[in-house]
A and B are shown apart, each in its own frame.
Chain A
Amino acid sequence: MKKLTIATLVLLAAITNMALASQKRKVLIIGIDGVRSDALQTANTPNIDALIATGFYTYDSWHCGITVSGPSWSTIFTGVWFPKHGVTDNSYAGSHFDAYPYYAKRVKEVKPSLYATQVVDWAPMSTKVTNDGYDAKIVRTENDCAAVAAAAQTQLLNPNLDAFTLYFAKVDNIGHSSGFSPSNPAYMAAIHEVDSFIGRVMTTLKSRPTYASEDWLVLITTDHGGNGTSHGGNSNVERNIWWIASGKDVISRQVMASDPGSYNMSSNPVDPAKLALAPVQADIAVTAMHHLMYDESDLSLRPENKAAWNLDGKSWLDSMKRSSPPGTAIGETSFEQGVKIYPNPSTGLFTFWFDAQNQSVAYLVFDEAGRLIKSEHNLNIDSKLNIDLSEQANGRYFIQLRCGGQVMTRKVILNK
């Protein structure tokens, strides 16, 4: 019976793959300016959460460059870091889009018929960028999420649309006005508002008459975090960002990674080995290019293989596609790296996210003095483990997780 099931699944995957192969590959990139990774995890974002639930995502994207909008979005859309694209601030002075164009322009070198557009509400992303390959660039009035979403919905009704970039400035502006922090209600409300417009955009996308015959890869990301009412520095809260990929053939997985370092930090230089495994913002453009360029008859047609393009990013397409051949995914995450705790500190309930790979799970909770205060064994979980410490006194606790033969311990803080 089990074997039959597996056989059925393999068959189904093959059919899906065939079906997808005949589908037109398209890309939607949604940028939300200035959303801290911890804020996204705490914020009330049902629409983004729905994409995360079935998507390939990371809360461990580390910024390797200048945590400022101009340079960051330039990296996100070109696939190269600022030493190449030349943008170091919001004046865009010194840009080299001639040598390092936007992803749509690169794809058009391979697929000249690509139709790409962009809707943003921060004008420099439109007026200061050349060589972007967009067939239309639309700017709406800054911070008007409704106008941006409405313009996006109009674009998404165009059956010829192949690549679409959508951008919301509002969250960053709120962060500048009153603080980039999960502690700032205004900032969290702005994230919630943008999420609601993303919901509308996704509904429109799915209502395309041709949607069933299309393979949309939706990439959502931010450019940087924030610290106080500012950003641009190298603190963790400015550098720690996130991205999400969602699509019909995209698997549900959280990518964990350690900090690969920064081109701006002498104390934390870029470690190429870590960078090769880390989901960073330069990868967005390259993954998008890969999806748009993908040619099953020529699997070597990958953006990274275009030596002249001199890209810094890497494609996660193979890692995120259900139909990808084995061994093509980037790295394999260890159990230790793969465990995520949220929230920490907590007022009682700690949630552990990890892939239990169908093995039974056990946990033990110790207090600071090393006394065992709680444990459970032989748990069967999917991807979330909730541990309730709300009856314990405030303080530090150590939680040991056991899964299969693997063991890891994390410190948590209870602050009721």
Chain B
Amino acid sequence: MFSFCKQTFGSFASEIEKVLHCKASKIYKKSKEYSMKQAYRKAFLLLVLIAFASRTWAQSGSIKGIVTGSGAELLPGVTIRVEQTSVKSVTGMDGSFELLKVPAGKQKIRFSYMGYQSETKEVLVTDKQTANLGRIKLSESEQLFNEVVVTGGMRKGSEAKAINMMKMSNKVITVLSSEGIGKLPDRNAADALQRVAGVAVQKNKGEGNYVSIRGTPTDWTATLLNGDRLPVADEENTSRSFDFEIIPSSLLDYLIVTRSVTPDMEADNIGGAVNIITQSSVTERTLKLDVGGGYNTLVQKPIGNFNFVWGDITRNKKFSFIADGSYYVRNYGADATVVAYGTPYNHSLARLELKDYTGLRTTKGLNIGTDYKITERFKIGSKLIYSQMLDDKYQQKMSYNWNDGSGARIRLQNIHGQLNRQMYGGELNSEWKLNDKLKLDGKVATYYNQFTYGSVPFSGKDKRNGYYTVEFISPLLEYTDMIQTDFQGQKLTPDAVTSYPYKLLGIDNPYGTGGDHYKNIQPKYTQMLDPLNPDIDLSKPVAPNQYYLSGAFTDLNTTKERDPIVAQLNGHYKIGNNVTISAGGKYRMKEGERNISIHQWTIAPGVSKIPLTDFQTTDMNRADEFLSAWKSPYKGTLMPAFTREQLGSFVHQYTDSLQELPMDTNNNEYRNWVGSQYKYREAVAAGYLMAEARIGKLSLVGGLRMEHTTLHESSDTLVPNNDPASIIGISALPVSVDRKYLAILPALNATYALSPNENLRAAASRTFHRPNFEETKPGSALFERENFFFIQGNPQLRPTYSINADLMFEHYWGNKGMFSLGGYYKHITDHIFEAASPRNDPAYAGYVQKTFINAKKAYVVGVEAVINRSFDFLPGFLKRFGVNANITYSHSQMDVPGRPKQQAMTEQSPLLYNVSLFYEHGKINTRLGFNYTAAYSHALNLFTDVTTNELVHKDTDYDYYAGKSYSLDYQFLYRISKHCSTYAEVNNILNAPSFTYIGRSDRPGRTEFYRQRVMLGVKFKL
């Protein structure tokens, strides 16, 4: 958990010096005959006594208070200085401060905060007493925030708060305030995070979901909710990366991105940590509403958004609460293609899928925070969060199969699923100041996260409900677009006896001419002669009435993870004004399970072919517009699809024609699925000892953390049985693995204030990453049918450790912005990477087998720069413009067993940048933002030849990559009055695709287009 130093930085050192000098000279005068040695011995003894007693001898008292902005928001990071002394302090997250050892007498206290006007208060300090200044209000500086002062209600101060927090922090952090988030059309926390330097965001149908810091693998980034790592449960993702889609951005108070850790933080992160701080308390009655409506240009359907914040505080200021909620409903769509490649020996195409998605996503979020100050020294609080995202998703899929177990065919799939994610939990926290020196804080939290499929195709909680597909198949085709090569896909020699016909992209055609371009892969075929239907014109495309029913199935998935108990206790002990020692412990229990399966409906024996035209169908959505970004290459060839009603009623209506085939030990294909259920229990016990010190301009935070992990994980494997009653002759045998490891994690952060506006920071730490549960799963491989993957866990996998070094220079232009330039280096052992290869084990034939391997050594080195600046130095209206920009460039290398050369680390993007240009004047606040993440490798193709036992591909040409991603977004805000403003947002202006590729970017895997999302809305504030 992130925390600000609340201790007082008095003139402790100088006081000691003064006293020492005085006492020592007296001793020296009294006993000149003493030898120097004796003198020093005595001096030392006295020194100890004096140091112990000095504070009681000094005539001093304390001052405390709480600093807020004019809008009552709490201001963290405010510098408080007692004039004419060296006593100073900084406010904490809750805006509170406490100055210790303030010399008794009348003192002037100065409050300074970037972007705000400084305030000075006079106070009488009495010996051994604490003066309470109560609430101190700072008002925004008119210089830049002129308009805010005029119109009030924009919570403009929040962003200044964020910059102040960054400046005052003792580690390398970036703070994103709710205000900053509100300036761009970011609906969820991940979209908001992509504006931060070095943060890359992966997307799902155009919405950010996974966050990676400095381009490192997403699961190296810890996601904390109010300081606790969250449980993860998701449809496809099985890493520890949290899916931010579920957290609406409006529930956030701050997002704190930490790049260098301190020992009091959970150290299970290598890239860094994202701490989501929800709102916890208010200092006055608050009511805010935000109502928006919009439009998705791809599906041409509406979007709606409603957020509220309601909070209040009792008259005696002891109890406050806040409740904020969000409801966001949006239609969305995607045009997608998937190209699957058939063999590990060449780049021939096995399948082209044309996927047309439409769906309705609903996100609901509720956050309730309470704060109760029982006494001045003891407070308790609670935070509760509930969040749900329901994705009601339809897909129409047309898939050309050059390579299919049933021959060359076209398959049509009608798909519907309700993806239901729920996350909830909460914490009880308490803070107890035993005395001026010792403070204890502790909390107990519990969180629950789960993914399930909704009531499709049956009502209620039927076991067969899942991601539901009804499939049709074409008669046999003969593809006429094949290129004759040898088995390896190379040119045929003139003497070759056997040739292999492959569908190839132009770039992979060994003859140099011909072959398709990736934006226009055109399957060409003639129909195969059908003696039963001799009248069909074989040169014509397959007509809708020729497609016939081949079956239906539901993909089943129940994934749960909960942290039933997360408990922590921290103690902070101040030694004088300059040093604080903290120690604490944390315990977290985590339990989870994942259950993947399939339920099938096959054609009952003897049932004749049922043509597609027997059903209620409609044109494929946007049949003419599909993939318009690629000039609609499939216009006129897309087949009709089921109406939604037909899809819903199909399994109920056709029960006589269907034979149900559950997936259990009686199923012939159970071998594929036996490893697809697993459970785990992980307990982490951590302890740390940390010291914080400020010595003049240098502040240091360092210490040691230890985390002990025990893991019990279980799954199934298949064993033959001799039970005559067994239909297939197999049983599932539970297997489990137990792991224990202790991580020793030192960390040191140093900040040197070169000037009041300049910091130099350096940090060194050791952090680690626990393998994901799927990666260490024992038993048989897990089957990811939709992606044609078998995932074989590796229970021997070791955690990844990283030694991190950071160096950073920061310059703050007062309230006009800031600039930073930094570099980092991570020395990584046991980086976990994904190796994928078509598997020789027959159990997985026809599919890609993935497993996880530790790379012995790897490193990543990078530089990052941030600039936030208003153009106030420019003339005229140009000064109303400004820029927020950041860039992270990194270079990484890792060893890959069997490959002669090192290569870039998987999941490590080498270049990330964000640029946003803003204009702020009067009632208008508008900005245009662009963000970019360069391509990176995602999994390596380590296909091994069974005879030579060598890798078939020693270079990266068969590796799996995530393509570059970028987005251009625009937002316009107009303040109508103090209480009301309107906004307009356009998201994804460039209609940038999200895509993956094999080896090179013009050899695509999955490509998705989402088009633009437009929102218009109104915000109200009481």
| Residues of chain A at the chain B interface (Cβ within 8 Å) | 38, 66-70, 83, 86, 88-98, 121-124, 127-130, 138-147, 150-151, 170, 172-174, 176-179, 181, 183-186, 189-190, 227-235, 237, 263-266, 344-345, 395-396, 413, 415
| Contacts between the two chains (Cβ within 8 Å), count | 201
- Report whether A92 and B501 are in contact in the complex, using a CB–CB cutoff of 8 Å: no
Shortest 6 CB-CB distances between A and B: which pairs?
A232-B407, A173-B845, A123-B668, A230-B403, A143-B842, A176-B846
Nearest-CB distance from B691 to chain A (Å)?
58
- Report whether B609 and A179 are in contact in the complex, using a CB–CB cutoff of 8 Å: no
B605 at interface by CB-CB < 8 Å: yes
Nearest-CB distance from B410 to chain A (Å)?
12
The complex places the Cα of A288 from the Cα of B419 at a distance, in Å, of 53
Our pick among A121, A147, A179, A233 for the contact of B478 (Cβ within 8 Å) is A233
- Report whether B404 and A92 are in contact in the complex, using a CB–CB cutoff of 8 Å: no
- Report whether A231 and B839 are in contact in the complex, using a CB–CB cutoff of 8 Å: no
14 contacts between A and B (CB under 8 A): A86-B608, A121-B668, A128-B605, A130-B606, A141-B670, A143-B671, A144-B843, A151-B729, A174-B845, A181-B498, A189-B946, A234-B528, A235-B501, A344-B497
Give the interface size bracket for B toward A. Answer: 35 or more
The complex places the Cα of A69 from the Cα of B405 at a distance, in Å, of 8
CB neighbours of A176 from chain B (8 A): 403, 405, 845-846
Beyond the given pairs A130-B606, A172-B405, A232-B409, 18 more chain A to chain B contacts, judged by CB atoms under 8 angstroms and listed by A's residue number, are A66-B407, A83-B531, A93-B550, A97-B606, A98-B606, A123-B669, A127-B602, A128-B602, A139-B727, A139-B728, A141-B729, A144-B671, A147-B729, A173-B842, A178-B838, A179-B345, A227-B501, A344-B497
Asked if A264 meets B528 with Cβ closer than 8 Å, knowing A141-B729, A178-B838, the reply is: yes
Please give me the residue from chain B that is nearest to A183 by CB atom. B487
B160 at interface by CB-CB < 8 Å: no
The complex places the Cα of A152 from the Cα of B840 at a distance, in Å, of 25
- Report whether B606 and A184 are in contact in the complex, using a CB–CB cutoff of 8 Å: no
CB neighbours of A183 from chain B (8 A): 487-488
B587 at interface by CB-CB < 8 Å: no
> Among B348, B407, B529, B718, which residue has the most Cβ atoms of chain A within 10 A?
B407
CB neighbours of A151 from chain B (8 A): 729
Our pick among B348, B478, B479, B668 for the contact of A139 (Cβ within 8 Å) is B668
Our pick among A96, A229, A237 for the contact of B403 (Cβ within 8 Å) is A229
CB neighbours of A130 from chain B (8 A): 605-606
CB neighbours of A122 from chain B (8 A): 668
Interface residues of B in 825-882 (CB under 8 A from A): 838-840, 842-847
CB neighbours of B500 from chain A (8 A): 181, 227-228
Nearest-CB distance from A364 to chain B (Å)?
21
Our pick among A83, A139, A142, A228 for the contact of B502 (Cβ within 8 Å) is A228
The complex places the Cα of A244 from the Cα of B500 at a distance, in Å, of 27
- Report whether B668 and A67 are in contact in the complex, using a CB–CB cutoff of 8 Å: no
The complex places the Cα of A139 from the Cα of B666 at a distance, in Å, of 9
Asked if A142 meets B495 with Cβ closer than 8 Å, knowing A227-B500, A229-B403, the reply is: no
The complex places the Cα of A381 from the Cα of B554 at a distance, in Å, of 63
The complex places the Cα of A147 from the Cα of B671 at a distance, in Å, of 12
- Report whether B531 and A345 are in contact in the complex, using a CB–CB cutoff of 8 Å: no
Nearest-CB distance from B73 to chain A (Å)?
61
- Report whether B529 and A266 are in contact in the complex, using a CB–CB cutoff of 8 Å: yes
Interface residues of B in 390-427 (CB under 8 A from A): 402-409
- Report whether A142 and B669 are in contact in the complex, using a CB–CB cutoff of 8 Å: yes
CB neighbours of A141 from chain B (8 A): 668-671, 718, 728-730
Nearest-CB distance from A256 to chain B (Å)?
18
Please give me the residue from chain B that is nearest to A81 by CB atom. B531
Binary flags per residue of B1006-1019, CB closer than 8 Å to A gives 1, else 0: 00000000000000
- Report whether A178 and B501 are in contact in the complex, using a CB–CB cutoff of 8 Å: no
- Report whether B602 and A91 are in contact in the complex, using a CB–CB cutoff of 8 Å: yes
- Report whether A91 and B668 are in contact in the complex, using a CB–CB cutoff of 8 Å: no
- Report whether B946 and A186 are in contact in the complex, using a CB–CB cutoff of 8 Å: yes
The complex places the Cα of A147 from the Cα of B720 at a distance, in Å, of 8
- Report whether A177 and B847 are in contact in the complex, using a CB–CB cutoff of 8 Å: yes
- Report whether B839 and A177 are in contact in the complex, using a CB–CB cutoff of 8 Å: yes
Please give me the residue from chain A that is nearest to B401 by CB atom. A230
- Report whether B406 and A68 are in contact in the complex, using a CB–CB cutoff of 8 Å: yes
CB neighbours of A172 from chain B (8 A): 405
Our pick among A67, A140, A186 for the contact of B729 (Cβ within 8 Å) is A140
The complex places the Cα of A265 from the Cα of B406 at a distance, in Å, of 17
- Report whether B603 and A234 are in contact in the complex, using a CB–CB cutoff of 8 Å: no
CB neighbours of A98 from chain B (8 A): 606
CB neighbours of A97 from chain B (8 A): 605-606
- Report whether A94 and B608 are in contact in the complex, using a CB–CB cutoff of 8 Å: yes
- Report whether B348 and A228 are in contact in the complex, using a CB–CB cutoff of 8 Å: yes
B172 at interface by CB-CB < 8 Å: no
Interface residues of B in 593-642 (CB under 8 A from A): 602-603, 605-610
CB neighbours of A229 from chain B (8 A): 342-343, 348, 350, 403
Binary flags per residue of B715-751, CB closer than 8 Å to A gives 1, else 0: 0001010000001111000000000000000000000
Asked if A232 meets B408 with Cβ closer than 8 Å, knowing A123-B669, A174-B840, the reply is: yes
- Report whether B473 and A91 are in contact in the complex, using a CB–CB cutoff of 8 Å: yes
> Among B495, B603, B668, which residue has the most Cβ atoms of chain A within 10 A?
B668
B435 at interface by CB-CB < 8 Å: no
CB neighbours of A228 from chain B (8 A): 342-343, 348, 403, 500-502
The complex places the Cα of A266 from the Cα of B478 at a distance, in Å, of 12
- Report whether A178 and B344 are in contact in the complex, using a CB–CB cutoff of 8 Å: yes
Nearest-CB distance from B869 to chain A (Å)?
57
- Report whether B342 and A91 are in contact in the complex, using a CB–CB cutoff of 8 Å: no
- Report whether B528 and A90 are in contact in the complex, using a CB–CB cutoff of 8 Å: no
- Report whether A170 and B605 are in contact in the complex, using a CB–CB cutoff of 8 Å: no
B476 at interface by CB-CB < 8 Å: yes
B548 at interface by CB-CB < 8 Å: yes
The complex places the Cα of A142 from the Cα of B730 at a distance, in Å, of 11
The complex places the Cα of A263 from the Cα of B534 at a distance, in Å, of 11
- Report whether A93 and B610 are in contact in the complex, using a CB–CB cutoff of 8 Å: yes
CB neighbours of B842 from chain A (8 A): 143, 145, 170, 173-174, 190
Asked if A89 meets B409 with Cβ closer than 8 Å, knowing A139-B668, A177-B838, A184-B487, the reply is: yes
Please give me the residue from chain B that is nearest to A140 by CB atom. B729
The complex places the Cα of A405 from the Cα of B475 at a distance, in Å, of 51
B549 at interface by CB-CB < 8 Å: yes
The complex places the Cα of A186 from the Cα of B529 at a distance, in Å, of 33
Nearest-CB distance from B723 to chain A (Å)?
13
CB neighbours of B498 from chain A (8 A): 38, 181, 237
CB neighbours of B84 from chain A (8 A): none
Nearest-CB distance from A48 to chain B (Å)?
19
CB neighbours of B610 from chain A (8 A): 93
CB neighbours of A413 from chain B (8 A): 495, 497
B375 at interface by CB-CB < 8 Å: no
Asked if A90 meets B668 with Cβ closer than 8 Å, knowing A127-B605, A179-B343, A344-B497, the reply is: no
- Report whether B605 and A129 are in contact in the complex, using a CB–CB cutoff of 8 Å: yes
> Among A89, A127, A140, A144, which residue has the most Cβ atoms of chain B within 10 A?
A89
The complex places the Cα of A74 from the Cα of B435 at a distance, in Å, of 87
B659 at interface by CB-CB < 8 Å: yes
CB neighbours of A181 from chain B (8 A): 487, 498, 500
Nearest-CB distance from B672 to chain A (Å)?
8
Nearest-CB distance from A411 to chain B (Å)?
10
The complex places the Cα of A185 from the Cα of B838 at a distance, in Å, of 13
B92 at interface by CB-CB < 8 Å: no
The complex places the Cα of A316 from the Cα of B605 at a distance, in Å, of 31
The complex places the Cα of A138 from the Cα of B668 at a distance, in Å, of 10
The complex places the Cα of A109 from the Cα of B728 at a distance, in Å, of 30
The complex places the Cα of A122 from the Cα of B847 at a distance, in Å, of 17
Nearest-CB distance from A255 to chain B (Å)?
22
